[in-house]
Structure 1
Amino acid sequence: METGILLESGTNELEILEFKVGNNYYGINVAKVKEILPYTKPTPIPNSHECIEGIFMPRDLIISVIDLAKNLRLSNSDNLNSDMYIVTNFNKIHTAFHVHSVVGIHRVSWADIITPDDTISSAGSGVATGIIKLEDRLIIILDFEKIVSEISPETGLKVSDIDKLGARTRNNIPILIAEDSPLLSKLITECLVKAGYTNVTVKQNGQEAWDTIKEYHKKGSLEGEIELVITDIEMPQMDGHRLTKLIKDEPDLRHIPVVIFSSLVNDEMKRKGELLGADAQLSKPEIGQLVRAVDELVKLSN
């Protein structure tokens, strides 16, 4: 899929692909979508996870199929002839999601995406990352990374990589993290602390992080409070690309290293991050590489 929004930088906008499973409306960031294909019955795989419907092979790539209705505990399709595959690529993995219909693509601002409260998505347990009100319906943005990692845990954050780094010395450099997933922000913080970086502050999205940076800057205490920023890309209110642009466009702030740590880091998104001035960009499973990147940036700033 080719969409113009991916070529723009720091607009705080995205395109959402809306689709249906059962009678419910859901969404996925178009940046994760490789293509949309008509449903064909996949080849079953013995002893696989109950939500893995099987595999299929469009062109030269074998792709696992996740039955999204089963994963979300919804009814099966009434008419397989109208069903579709949404083929995705994130965390360096291709996955196909079996959905019941595709509605269309909408361009929206991250500021218009509502963060689910704890009644909908308690820390680490829900699969809704945001909600959009569009005309007469609510579209739920699903946490596809979480869905995949729960089915295949080895695709998630590789926390064991920290142990391979060996003995580490303590470093009190103040690091600000912008990450909307409570589970991931907890894991990233724990990994950084284990790697010796003990002065870590976490904000739930780019807007909160930017407000914090502005507050310290206004007080004249920025140097002692924030000396490196790690940001996700996909976040309600303000995404990581917009946050990066705001930091790098401000003469008094652009010296702060910004590391983009996201499941969306691919060649196209890397080009976008480079244009915005990101100092490093890493794919989310590679927590060991994140620590190495922080090591290098800290070394350069000293």
Structure 2
Amino acid sequence: MENNKGILLESGTNELEIVEFNAGINKFGINVIKVKEIINPVQVVAIPHAHPYVEGIIELRGEVLPVISIANALGFPPSENQQLDKFIVTEFNKQKIVFHVQGVNQIHRISWQDIEKPSGMYNGQESQIIGVVKINGEMILLLDFEKIIVEINPDSGIRVQEVKKLGKRERSDKKLIAAEDSPLLRKMLFDTLSEAGYDNVDFFENGQDAYDYLENLVSEGKNPAEEVQLIITDIEMPKMDGHHFTKKVKEHPKMAPIPVIIFSSLITEDLRHKGNKVGAEGQISKPEIAELILKIDKYIL
């Protein structure tokens, strides 16, 4: 797995690799960057009164890690052939978590441009699906792992209380744009930015939509660096990821002066290198919302 990650150390290519795995009769995907290793299932110690998604805990090389059943999280029955089951050991949001899946198939390298946003007709607000990609005639569903974790432990998400500690603030004259594909995190960002005094924020579901907005300002004869004081972007987004979005902004002569802060669950040393290379002024790991607010203050006040 570590060798595969090396392929994606180039910056702003708008590509990713996903591990394809099974749950129920469906195929799902997880970004390779989130994956530390894939192991055969080991003995799980059950925890009394645990959340229904949580099978228990395991010890892995001296660390005690929670095990989450993807089948339980998605409402699927247990595996019919447990010999195919695997544990995917992940790290994001500054925590390690093990996901129990019903088989791992292969790794695919794809473009974010090929990932389609799920339609609201079949993907309600409570769904954990954030994208669909067609590979070899089959549909692979991309899961919102952050949402699954927040459903288990709401305190692991963005916390408005942290922003309230900063005190009353007046920032409403500052225009921000934010690219974030998760409806849950868009709502959390809206609430926390508003609490911090940043009421004038336009949200976009991916980097492509955000970049199109900035391009439209240029085509209207406006200076985007005067219209927009700062950009916040996630990394994982359909159509255009945050690194590619940042790279395009910084390569555009009229957009380049706008500070860009990457706010993502995937801020690791390898990814920090990528963010620096594409020109991001700041990189904050979710859910450190107070740190994000202070970073915004630094660049636009």
CA distance in 2, matches of 1:170, 1:227: 11
Per the alignment, residue 148 of structure 2 pairs with 147
Q: Answer yes or no: is 1:33 the counterpart of 2:35.
A: yes
**1:58 Cα deviation after fit:** 1.2
Contact 1:39 1:82 in 2 (8 A): no
Per the alignment, residue 46 of structure 1 pairs with 48
* Secondary structure in 2 matching 1:237: coil
Q: Answer yes or no: is 1:297 the counterpart of 2:299.
A: yes
Per the alignment, residue 89 of structure 1 pairs with 91
CA distance in 1, matches of 2:283, 2:101: 31
CA distance in 1, matches of 2:41, 2:228: 49
**1:199 Cα deviation after fit:** 1.4
Contact 2:168 2:197 in 1 (8 A): no
1:65 equivalent among 67, 70, 74: 67
Structure 1 unaligned runs (5+)? none
* Secondary structure in 1 matching 2:165: helix
Bigger Cα displacement from structure 2, 95-104 vs 214-223? 214-223
**1:7 Cα deviation after fit:** 0.5
Per the alignment, residue 211 of structure 2 pairs with 210
Q: Answer yes or no: is 1:280 the counterpart of 2:282.
A: yes
1:152-189 CA-to-partner distances (Å, cap 9, x unmatched) read 11111122111111121234111111111122112212
Contact 1:5 1:15 in 2 (8 A): no
1:124-166 CA-to-partner distances (Å, cap 9, x unmatched) read x110000011113111000111011101111111221111111
Bigger Cα displacement from structure 2, 163-172 vs 12-21? 163-172
Contact 2:208 2:240 in 1 (8 A): yes
Letter in 2 for 1:235: M
Letter in 1 for 2:160: V
Alignment of 1:1-302 (within 5 A): 1-2=1-2, 3-123=5-125, 125-221=126-222, 222-299=224-301
The 4+ residue runs of structure 1 with deviation greater than 4 A are none
Letter in 1 for 2:232: I
CA distance in 2, matches of 1:238, 1:292: 27
1:53-105 CA-to-partner distances (Å, cap 9, x unmatched) read 11111102111000111111111112322210001111111000001110000
**1:280 Cα deviation after fit:** 0.5
Letter in 2 for 1:68: I
CA distance in 1, matches of 2:172, 2:298: 13
**1:40 Cα deviation after fit:** 1.4
**1:217 Cα deviation after fit:** 1.7
CA distance in 2, matches of 1:190, 1:240: 22
**1:22 Cα deviation after fit:** 2.1
Contact 1:6 1:269 in 2 (8 A): no
Aligned-residue CA RMSD in angstroms? 1.2
* Secondary structure in 1 matching 2:68: strand
* Secondary structure in 2 matching 1:57: strand
Q: Percent identity?
A: 46
Letter in 2 for 1:201: D
Letter in 1 for 2:43: K
1:240-292 CA-to-partner distances (Å, cap 9, x unmatched) read 00000001122322111000001111111111101111001111211111110
**1:219 Cα deviation after fit:** 2.1
CA distance in 1, matches of 2:240, 2:200: 24
